[in-house]
Chain A
Amino acid sequence: MAEILLSAQGLGVRFGSFNAIEDLNLSIARGTLHSVIGPNGAGKTTLFNALSGTRIPTQGEIRFQGHPITNVPAYGRVHLGLSRSFQLTNIFRDLSVAENILLALQAVAGREAWAFWRNRDPLKVRKKRAAELADTVGLSARFEARAGDLSHGAQRALEIAMALASDPKLLFLDEPLAGMGLDDVHRTKLLIKSLAPERTVVLIEHNMSVVLDISDTVTVLAQGKKIAEGSPQAIRTNVEVKNAYLGSAA
Chain B
Amino acid sequence: MTTEGLRFPNGTTVVIAVFLIALPCILPSLTLASEILVLATGALSCTLLLGSVGLLSFGQGLYFGLGAYVSAILIRDFELTALAATIVASLAGCLLAAAAGLLIVRRQGVYFVMLTLAFAQMGFFLALAFPRLTGGENGFGNVPRTTIAFGQFALSNPLLLYAFLAFLSFAAFALVQRIVASPFGSVLNSIRYNESRSEALGYDARRFKLAAVTMAGGIAALAGAMNTLMLSFVPLSAIDVETSERLLIASLIGGVGSPLGALIGASVLSAMSDFLSPIWPRWSTIVAVLLIVTVLFLRDGLLGLGGVLRRQGKEMPNG
Q: Which of A93-122 contact B (CB under 8 A)?
A: 93-96, 99, 103-104, 106-108, 112-120
Q: How many residues belonging to A are interface residues under a CB distance threshold of 8 Å?
A: 36
> Are B182 and A115 touching (Cβ within 8 A)?
yes
- Known contacts being A54-B196, A92-B193, A103-B190, is A115 close to B201, with CB within 8 Å? no
- Known contacts being A94-B193, A95-B4, is A113 close to B200, with CB within 8 Å? no
Q: Which of B182-215 contact A (CB under 8 A)?
A: 182-187, 190, 193-194, 196-205, 208, 211
Q: Is B76 an interface residue (CB 8 A)?
A: no
> Are B202 and A119 touching (Cβ within 8 A)?
no
> Are A86 and B186 touching (Cβ within 8 A)?
no
> Are B182 and A75 touching (Cβ within 8 A)?
no
Point out the residue from B4, B6, B196, B204 that lies within 8 Å of A90, measured CB to CB.
Answer: B196
- Known contacts being A75-B199, A107-B202, A120-B183, is A92 close to B2, with CB within 8 Å? no
> Are A116 and B185 touching (Cβ within 8 A)?
yes
Q: Which of B179, B190, B198, B200 has the most CB of A within 10 A?
A: B200
- Known contacts being A78-B202, A95-B4, is A106 close to B183, with CB within 8 Å? yes
Note all chain B residues with C-beta closer than 8 A to A52. 200
Q: Is B163 an interface residue (CB 8 A)?
A: no
Q: Which of B1-31 contact A (CB under 8 A)?
A: 2, 4, 6-8
**Contact string against A for B residues 127-145, beta-carbon threshold 8 Å, 1 for contact and 0 otherwise:** 0000000000000000000
Q: Is A56 an interface residue (CB 8 A)?
A: no
Whole-angstrom distance between the alpha carbons of A36 and B200 in the complex? 20
Q: Is B178 an interface residue (CB 8 A)?
A: yes
Whole-angstrom distance between the alpha carbons of A104 and B285 in the complex? 47
> Are A75 and B185 touching (Cβ within 8 A)?
no
Whole-angstrom distance between the alpha carbons of A114 and B199 in the complex? 15
> Are A79 and B202 touching (Cβ within 8 A)?
yes
- Known contacts being A92-B190, A94-B2, is A107 close to B183, with CB within 8 Å? no
Chain B nearest CB, measured from A6 CB (Å): 17
Note all chain B residues with C-beta closer than 8 A to A162. 201
Q: Is A26 an interface residue (CB 8 A)?
A: no
Q: Which of A38-76 contact B (CB under 8 A)?
A: 52, 54, 73-76
Please give me the residue from chain B that is nearest to A98 by CB atom.
Answer: B4
Note all chain B residues with C-beta closer than 8 A to A84. 200
> Are B183 and A113 touching (Cβ within 8 A)?
yes
Point out the residue from A75, A86, A99, A114 that lies within 8 Å of B202, measured CB to CB.
Answer: A75
Whole-angstrom distance between the alpha carbons of A114 and B187 in the complex? 9
Whole-angstrom distance between the alpha carbons of A118 and B9 in the complex? 10
Whole-angstrom distance between the alpha carbons of A241 and B4 in the complex? 49
> Are A116 and B200 touching (Cβ within 8 A)?
no
Chain A nearest CB, measured from B45 CB (Å): 16
> Are A92 and B8 touching (Cβ within 8 A)?
no
The interface residues of chain B, by DSSP majority, are classed as: helix
- Known contacts being A74-B200, A78-B201, is A92 close to B194, with CB within 8 Å? yes
Please give me the residue from chain A that is nearest to B179 by CB atom.
Answer: A116
> Are A119 and B200 touching (Cβ within 8 A)?
no
- Known contacts being A115-B183, A119-B182, is A166 close to B197, with CB within 8 Å? no
Note all chain A residues with C-beta closer than 8 A to B190. 92, 103
Chain A nearest CB, measured from B144 CB (Å): 36
Q: Is B84 an interface residue (CB 8 A)?
A: no
Q: Is B181 an interface residue (CB 8 A)?
A: yes
A-B CB proximity, top 5 nearest? A78-B202, A107-B202, A116-B184, A107-B201, A116-B182
Point out the residue from A76, A117, A165 that lies within 8 Å of B178, measured CB to CB.
Answer: A117
13 CB < 8 A contacts A-B: A52-B200, A76-B204, A83-B200, A90-B197, A90-B200, A106-B187, A107-B201, A113-B203, A113-B208, A118-B183, A120-B6, A120-B183, A166-B201
Whole-angstrom distance between the alpha carbons of A114 and B183 in the complex? 7
Chain A nearest CB, measured from B257 CB (Å): 13
Please give me the residue from chain A that is nearest to B197 by CB atom.
Answer: A90
Note all chain A residues with C-beta closer than 8 A to B8. 119
> Are A75 and B204 touching (Cβ within 8 A)?
yes
Chain B nearest CB, measured from A209 CB (Å): 29
- Known contacts being A119-B7, A120-B183, is A73 close to B199, with CB within 8 Å? yes
> Are B202 and A120 touching (Cβ within 8 A)?
no
Q: Which of A86, A114, A117, A120 has the most CB of B within 10 A?
A: A120
Q: Is A235 an interface residue (CB 8 A)?
A: no
Please give me the residue from chain B that is nearest to A99 by CB atom.
Answer: B4
Q: Is A178 an interface residue (CB 8 A)?
A: no
Note all chain A residues with C-beta closer than 8 A to B194. 90, 92
Chain B nearest CB, measured from A48 CB (Å): 11
